Structure formats: C-alpha cells, structure tokens
A = this chain, B = another copy of it.
Amino acid sequence: MKNGMELALCEAQNAAQRGEVPVGAVLLGPDGTVLAQAGNRVEELHDPSAHAEMLVMRAATAARGGKRLADCTLVVTLEPCPMCAAALAHFRVGRVLFGAYDPKGGGVEHGPRLPFRAEALHRPEIIGGVRERDSAALLKTFFQTLRERESEASSAL
C-alpha cells in the first residue's frame, strides 16, 4: 500500500499530465485512512484557488459534515503558499507534511511564515522536506518542458 506522500506524488504526476503545475495532496484521517486526495486543478476548474491543499481540505471537511481537521494530517508535495497556509488555521489542520521547500512562493517556512506568527490562532505540527527531491524533480521537469515548448513555439513564428 502506498503511504501518504507516495499518493500525493502520484496526484502531482497526474496533475502534470493534465497540464497543471504538479502539486498533489492527500488528507489522512486520525487512523491514517485517506479522506481525500487531489492534484492542482487551477486550469481545469478555471479557479486560481483550486490548489491541491485547498481541494483536499474542503473535500475532507465536507465529508465529515463540517468537522474540522484537528485530528488529521495534510500531506502535500510542495510547501503551501500563503493562501493555503492561512487556510490551515480555518480548517484547524492538526499536522502538515510537505515535500519541497518553496523559498519564493511558500508561506509556511518562507515569506510570511503564517503558522508561526504571534497572532496565529492555530498552529499545526509541521514537517517539511519529506521526499523533497522527488517533489522538486517533478516541478523542475514540468517547468523545463514548459519553457522548451514556449521557446519552440516562439522560434516557429
């Protein structure tokens, strides 16, 4: 059986296949059951907030009839952005495992470091760098391919 990060990496790969930035997430219940899993669906849904983390937090909370996620673990292949980092508090996520660090766009260990701010009303346990190289490799390949395609397209003009 695949563990949470392996599942999240699969979701990230599937997202890349759909032309989405390859980030995947899984929401694990208190006993480790998968409550929700998703990859980015920003392009598909025409929704810039449809990050993998938001999708699994929303799906898991809805499935639990609104019960917040204090006893759950969010597993995601990339350090959450400030929007998702702030949402962790609204959903009361108990624990976060993330893959690659994101010095430019991250909001947990970088930028505003939202869960660690004095006014934060909820602070999940946070573990970063899980399968970091695999997550980062997916993103690197995706953006490299994108740049190559763009360069081919512009030279064909």
Contact = CB atoms under 8 A, between A and B. Distances in A.
Contact of A46 (B65, B85, B90): B65
A83 interface: yes
Interface residues of A, number: 31
Contacts of A57: 48-49
Number of copies: 2
A81 B86 CA distance: 8
B58 A90 contact: no
Contacts of A119: 104, 111
Interface string A87-125: 100111000000000001001000110100101000000
A62 B49 contact: no
Nearest to A57: B49
A87 to B, nearest CB: 5
A82 interface: yes
